[in-house]
Amino acid sequence: EGLAHSDKDARVLLHVEPLQPLRPPAASRPDSWLRVLHLNPATYFASVLSEAHAVVLCGGTMQPFEDLRQQLFTNLPPGRLRTAAYGHIVPPERVAPVIFSRGPRGSPLSFSFGSRGAPALMDELGELLLALAATVPDGLVVFVPSFQYEAQRWAACPLPRPHASHTQCGGRYEAQLVARWEATGLWAKLDALKRTFREPRATADLDKVLSEYAATVAQRGGGGGGGGA
């Protein structure tokens, strides 16, 4: 369908792997691909605007509105688009931004793309979370850059040894955060302090995880050290 739109709205990307003579002809280029990258969301959104009586877009990170208008509502007559923004529900006195530049062992926490998969850095991050889990009385929510960094191992790399200073595979670090913590025993320590839950990649599994999380919070209650999830 994307190929039927204007060439200004999309780009065709082609990646061809070099031939590998040791493989059969049919499997000589298994990693080659052809993709159509659509760059103009207004093309698809136009049908929604033309068929619906009213459209409401809600979100927490939709500003600046002008960028959104240019991307989705380019053909909408002036005055038809109304915007509204509301303040945060958490009062300022309940928010305390704190930046940790170093971990408990004194190592710098530098999570650049090239270094964030180093096991020593993952261990330092884990020790910091362990200290926070032992200090914060109730629950913690931890965000990582991607599912890949949280769970997915890079191509055919063995799991790093618990005390290895670094692990490389084909010139690339193995980026498997939780597996590293499981291998070192840190994940078990975290789970002993607070019941751990991981966001599933499949949307169909999310309700089950949220239900278990809510049940754990209700069972452990709040206000006590070591509680929460």
Report DSSP letters for 139-208, one per residue: ------S-HHHHHPPPTTPPPPPTT-S--EETTEE---HHHHHHHHTHHHHHHHHS------SSGGGHHH
Q: Is the pTM for the entire model greater than 0.75?
A: no
Cα dihedral 47, 49, 53, 56 in deg (nearest 10): 130
Is the pLDDT at 198 greater than 60, yes or no?
yes
Integer CA distances (angstroms), 152 to 159, 173, 175, 201, in order: 11, 12, 7, 11
Q: Please enumerate in sequence order all residues whose Cβ is within 8 A of that of 117, keeping only pairs 6 or more positions apart, or say none.
A: 149, 154, 172, 173, 174, 175
If pLDDT is split at 50, 70 and 90, which confidence band does 128 have?
very high
Is the pLDDT at 124 greater than 90, yes or no?
yes
CA-to-CA distance for 76 and 70, rounded, in angstroms?
10
E-strand stretches of 18-81: 33-38
Q: Is 40 buried (19+), middle (13-18) or exposed (0-12) by CB count in 10 A?
A: middle
Please answer whether residues 84 and 65 qualify as being in contact, where contact means their C-beta atoms are separated by less than 8 angstroms.
no
Angle between the N-to-C axes of helices 186-193 and 177-184, in degrees from 0 to 180, rounded to the nearest 10: 90
Fill in the amino acid letter for 193.
Answer: L
| Among 197, 145, 151, 201, CA closest to 175 | 151
* pLDDT tens, residue by residue, 137-179: 888 888 887 777 766 443 434 444 444 444 333 333 334 788 8
Fill in the amino acid letter for 169.
Answer: C
Question: In this predicted structure, which of 17-26, 91-100, 142-151 has the lowest mean pLDDT?
Answer: 17-26
CA-to-CA distance for 86 and 223, rounded, in angstroms?
31
Please answer whether residues 10 and 39 qualify as being in contact, where contact means their C-beta atoms are separated by less than 8 angstroms.
yes
Is the pLDDT at 217 greater than 80, yes or no?
yes
